[in-house]
Chains A and B, each alone.
Chain A
Amino acid sequence: MEFASGEHHAPHRAALEIDGLPRRAGGGPVTTDPGAGLDEEPWEAEIGALLGRLPSVDPPEGFIDAALRHRPLHSGRILSGLAALTVATVAGAVLTGAAGRTDVAPPVDELAARHATIVRAGVFPGGPLDRLDPAAEGPVELPRGFRLAGDVEAEDIRQAVYARGDESVSVFVQEGRISWDALPAGGSTEIGGRRAWVDPARRLTVIETGERIVTIVGLGSDDVADVLAGVRGEEPSTLDRIHDLAEAIVIQLGYAPAE
């Protein structure tokens, strides 16, 4: 909801009138706010009416966009969103110097819940882009019509949400190496030569890339391949490697098609 300047503050108030408030016999207003508990005195209504006339204050031109681009990351803003996914997935072989990093258990249940919550809340509506960070790297559009609907970072895990009609996909990127023992049993596999964990029923895919852990929620098999192809960088060698990896994913995961 967006308000026109000067219209969103106490629109029901005008001058000294407090619309809709019943009057007591003595003339004082009786608040209709059930939480008020006590009657408001007439002078209180006057003060409230005066304050209700205060106009909205517009931010300086461009401030909101600039504020949205301001993004102090906890762990350094070297990579963000799908740019991180691109590098992590494609060039993971280069990033093998992960000694000293703490093994972490990707909170797959929580990430699946985050994805479901955002989809359910409609915070990132499909269609026109409403990106929280316009300066974030990564593609705006993926193959098969998935478009970036928004991105957000919480608890050091970056989430990019893509939408295609009623379908949506979240790509989470976090730093660290996977603590495999902490993941539910039964889902271990290999994707494109990398160790991975999958839960086809919940459309969860976790891939370790050396420096970062990529968790994809909501994709079917074809879409996994396409998304990974879509996050290719501009370097031709990257493209080739992505295609190889995508083919391997399709073969090895055997996901059910996206509904």
Chain B
Amino acid sequence: MARSHGRFLYSLAYRLCGNHQDAQDLVQEVLLRVRRGLHTYRPGNLEGWLSRITTNTFLDRVRTQKRRPTIPLPDEPDRVLAGSPDLHAEMAARDLPDHLQELLLGLPPDYRVVVVLKDVLSFSYEEIAEMIDVPIGTVRSRIHRGRRRLREALAP
């Protein structure tokens, strides 16, 4: 099971960590937790279960190590950017995956997790709330703020 989902886990880990070394460390720890917790798995959303373990492991590491600095951005809920930047035109001029990954790393870990789960992996709000064990309103708020920070960072 773990092997067949290895690529899924690795990709999620990479999007959260932003580099291969940390992604590999994270996957190693996740696989260990998967082994230990395999008997708790119940038939159902296997990817959700694996993602829950991965994101929780990631957040645990962040909280204990705090080795990934974030880019400080203003947190003004009602801030509206002037004009309507053509995000795709902007991104087309850059190396999109690498640049987006950099911007993801600029998000606080709690925001990054929910944005990746929602927008990169297409989990629902409800699934994400269950995964990370926070109220769905908190998930919604974090995603909204995370997206807004990305938008601001993308603005020319």
Chain A positions within 8 Å of B, measured between CB atoms, are 1-3, 5, 8-13, 15-16, 33-38, 43-44, 46-48, 50-60, 63-65, 67-68, 70-72, 114, 117-118, 120-123, 130, 132, 150, 152-155, 159
A35 lies within 8 A of B97 (CB): no
**Contact among A46, A132, A154 for B2, CB-based, below 8 A:** A132
Q: Describe B's contact surface by its main secondary structure.
A: helix
A155 to chain B minimum Cβ distance, whole angstroms, is: 7
Number of A-B contacts (CB under 8 A): 166
CA distance A121 to B125 in the complex (A): 26
Residue of A nearest to B101 (CB): A54
Q: Which residues of B contact A118 (CB under 8 A)?
A: 38-39
When A47-B119, A52-B119, A118-B39 are in contact, do A1 and B5 touch as well, CB less than 8 Å? yes
A156 to chain B minimum Cβ distance, whole angstroms, is: 10
Residue of A nearest to B42 (CB): A121
Q: Which residues of B contact A35 (CB under 8 A)?
A: 124-126, 129, 136, 139-140
Chain B positions within 8 Å of A, measured between CB atoms, are 1-8, 10-11, 14-15, 20, 23-24, 27-28, 31-32, 35-39, 41-43, 46-47, 84, 87-88, 91, 96-97, 100-101, 104, 115-116, 118-122, 124-126, 129, 136-137, 139-140, 144, 147, 150-151, 154
A54 lies within 8 A of B35 (CB): no
A38 lies within 8 A of B140 (CB): yes
B145 to chain A minimum Cβ distance, whole angstroms, is: 11
CA distance A33 to B8 in the complex (A): 23
CA distance A207 to B100 in the complex (A): 57
CA distance A204 to B36 in the complex (A): 22
